[in-house]
Amino acid sequence: MAKKGSFWSDFKEFISRGNILDMAVGVVIGGAFGKIVTGLVNFIINPIIGLLTGGISLDGLKTIVRAADEAAGVEEVAILWGSWIQTIIDFIIVAFCIFLVIRAIMKAKKIANAKKIAEEEKKAAEEKAKAEEEKKEAEAAAAALEAKRIAVEDATIRSENLLEEIKELLAKK
């Protein structure tokens, strides 16, 4: 019985994953999209092709291998190459429509990413300018500190020199 519980918990985990649900939505949307394309082909493109071919429907184009004989109970055997061509046209239209959708999505992503990249570049430039300003301020502070150190060192040397002179004066007296 333990296996049964783990089977169902594994199934529950599998079915509740986000990517499975996304895939299911994609299949449903794909089926609906397929119906739209089939409608486009059957109700718009086929009549146009029928006009161009003199009223011949692609679905009606076939090569009869064996004719039907109702008296003998023999059904027609035919190569339905018109239906096959129709299927190819359907595929090309579906592929083209998917291409257009994906292309539009990629362009939208590119535009969105361009704005994001521009914002990131602007932020990076501002941070770089801020870092350079801080560096200049640090260098100025270091230079001021060095100047103070030199001034203190000079004052110390002068004080030592004065002390030496005072010692010499005191030693002479």
Give a yes or no: residue 137 inside a domain. no
Residue 51 lies in a domain: yes
Q: pLDDT digits over 105-163, tens only?
A: 899 888 888 888 888 899 999 999 999 999 999 999 999 999 999 999 999 999 999 99
Q: Is the pLDDT of residue 170 over 90?
A: no
Q: What's the confidence (pLDDT) of residue 146?
A: 94
Task: Please indicate, yes or no, if residue 166 is contained in any of the structural domains.
Answer: no
pLDDT number for residue 141 = 92
- Find, among 26, 29, 59, the residue nearest to 43 by Cα: 59
Predicted pLDDT at 18? 67
Number of domains present in the structure of the chain: 1
In a domain, 41, yes or no: yes
Tell me the C-alpha distance between 92 and 108, whole Å. Answer: 24
Q: Tell me whether residue 147 is in a domain.
A: no
pLDDT (0 to 100) of residue 11: 79
In the predicted structure, residue 17 carries a pLDDT above the cut 90: no
- Rounded CA-CA distance 69/167 in Å is 143
Confirm whether 152 is domain-assigned.
no
Residue 101 lies in a domain: no
Domain presence at residue 14? yes
Average pLDDT, the chain: 85
Question: Could you report the per-residue pLDDT of 53-108, keeping only the tens digit for each?
Answer: 777 777 778 898 888 888 888 888 999 988 898 888 878 877 887 788 889 989 98
How many angstroms separate the CA atoms of 134 and 144, rounded?
A: 15
- Give, in degrees to the nearest 5, the angle at Cα 50 between 46 and 52: 115
Q: Which domain holds residue 23?
A: 1-56
